[in-house]
Amino acid sequence: MTATTGMADELRGKVREFLAAHDPATTDRLEFLRARFDAGLAWVHYPAGLGGLDAPRELQPVVDAEFEKAGAPDNNPRRIGIGLGMAAPTILRFGTEEQKKRYLRPLWTGEEVWCQLFSEPGAGSDLAALGTRAVRDGDDWIVNGQKVWTSVAHIARFAILVTRTDPDVPKHQGMTYFVCDMTDPGVDVRPLRQLTGEAEFNEVFLSGVRIPDANRLGAVGEGWKVAQTTLMNERVAIGGHAMPREGGLIGMVAKTWRERPELRTPDLHDRLVRHWAEAEAMRLAATRLRQQMAAGQPGPEGSAMKLAFARLQQALTGLEVELGGEDGLCYDDWTMRRPEKVDMIGREAGYRYLRAKGNSIEGGTSEVLRNIISERVLGLPSEPRVDKDVAWKDLPR
C-alpha cells in the first residue's frame, strides 16, 4: 500500500465519521457546509483550520466522491467559481492570517460571492496598463476608476481589485491589490448586455471608494505579482476541469449525431471525429495539469489548457448549430436576464454558440495566451516591448 493510498483510505474514514455526525438528510444545508469546512474536508490541501488537512491536492476527488455518494449538498461551485478558483488561492498565498480566517470560510460555503475587478476599458489584454487609482489616505486608500466585463458583480459581496498606486514607475511596478467590499459607498454596478441577450457581467464604477489598508493583499507596488497568481489559477479554473469521457459539449454533440442520422454527411462526420479526439486529448491533458498542480502553484501550462478549451468550445458549438439545421440558432429566451452563473449545458444550441464566442476573451484573450505559451513554455524570443521601462504616466493612451 502506498502512502497516498493509505491517506485516501484515512480521508474516506474521516468523511464517514463526519456524515455519521451530520446526516445530509436532516442537517441544514448551510450548517452542513460550515461543519464540513471546519472539519478540513472543504479543500483537503489547504492548511488545517482553513478548510483543509494539509493533504495532497490530488486526494480532493476522493473526498468529493464520498460526499456525492451520500447525497450531501455541494456549495454550488458554478455560482461561486470566481471565489473558489481565483480569490481563494490568492488569499491563501498572499493574505494575512486574519484575512484567511475572515474570508475563506464564507467564500467556500457560498455565503459571500466574489467577483474580479481587473479589466478596464483601456486595459483588457494589457492588464498592466490599468489606470484605476488608489491614493493613500492615512490607514485607508481612496479608489477611483472604472472596471469592465465583471461577471456576477451584481450579486457579489467582495471583489479582488487591482489598482494603480504609483504612476511614476513602469506599469508593472506601480500596482497594488486589494479586497473591495462591493456594498461600500461609491461602488456602482451597471449591467452590460451581451450577444446572448443576457447581462451576466457588468461595468463597475468606483467613485471615492474608501478601502482600509488592512484589505490589501501583498505589498504596496506588488499588485502585478499577486495578480499573476490569480490569473494562472483563473486559466486553470476555466480550462482544467475534471471531465469524464464525452463529458461536456462533446457528449451533447455526439448524442445529437447518434439520434439524428438524417443530419449526417461525410464532412460533418470527419469534423465530429476530429473534435472528439481533441476533446479526449484535452481531457487527458487537464488530468496531467491537475497532477502538476498537486505539486505546487499552477504555471503557464494553464494558459495552454484555457486556449485549447476556448477553441474547442467554439468549434463544437458551431458544429452543433450546423447539426440543428434551420433551427440551430434558435433558443427560447433572448430577454434581458441577469443570471447568477453561466449555464452552457442547460440551454439551447443557439445560446451555446453565441456564448462560446466569449471563451476566447474571458480569462485572458487567446492572442495573449499564445504569447505566454511561446515565451514561457516553448522558450521563444519575446515580442519587443518599448514601454517596459517607461513610467506609466508617460505612456500614450
CATH of the domain at 36: 1.10.540.10
Residue 395 covered by a domain = no
- Residue among 66, 112, 120, 234 flagged as catalytic: 234
Residue 393 covered by a domain = no
pLDDT digits (tens, 9 = 90+) for 381-397: 887 878 878 999 998 87
Among candidate residues 109, 136, 161, the one where a domain is terminated: 109
Q: Is 340 a catalytic residue?
A: no
What are the grid coordinates assigned to 135, written together? 491614493
Residue 394 covered by a domain = no
Of the candidate ranges 64-78, 272-286, 346-360, 375-389, the one whose mean pLDDT is the lowest:
375-389
Quote the pTM value: 0.85
- 121 plus 206 within the same structural domain: yes
pLDDT digits (tens, 9 = 90+) for 160-182: 999 999 999 999 999 999 999 99
Among candidate residues 109, 131, 165, the one where a domain is terminated: 109
- 184 plus 277 within the same structural domain: no
68 vs 24, 63, 74, 278, CA distance in Å?
11, 9, 8, 29
Write the CATH number for 216: 2.40.110.10
- 231 plus 336 within the same structural domain: yes
- 366 plus 299 within the same structural domain: yes
- 122 plus 213 within the same structural domain: yes
Number of separate domains in the chain: 3
pLDDT digits (tens, 9 = 90+) for 338-378: 877 777 777 888 888 988 888 888 777 788 778 878 887 78
Residue 201 covered by a domain = yes
pLDDT above 70 (res 261): yes
Residue 388 covered by a domain = no
Residue 1 covered by a domain = no
* pLDDT, position 332: 73
Task: Tell me the HSE value of 271 on the side-chain side, using a 13 A CA sphere.
Answer: 17
pLDDT above 70 (res 223): yes
Among candidate residues 173, 197, 221, the one where a domain is terminated: 221
At 133, which helix (H) or strand (E)?
strand 133-137
Average pLDDT of the chain, as a whole number: 88
pLDDT greater at residue 112 or residue 253: 112
- 251 plus 335 within the same structural domain: yes
- 274 plus 339 within the same structural domain: yes
What are the grid coordinates assigned to 295, written together? 505539486
- Domain residues for 82? 7-109
Of the candidate ranges 75-79, 89-93, 190-194, 321-325, the one whose mean pLDDT is the lowest:
321-325
143 vs 139, 166, 200, CA distance in Å?
13, 13, 24
d(CA 393, CA 344): 42
- 86 plus 121 within the same structural domain: no
> Residue 177 corresponds to which amino acid?
Y
d(CA 57, CA 99): 22
Residue 289 covered by a domain = yes
345 vs 110, 353, 358, CA distance in Å?
22, 11, 16
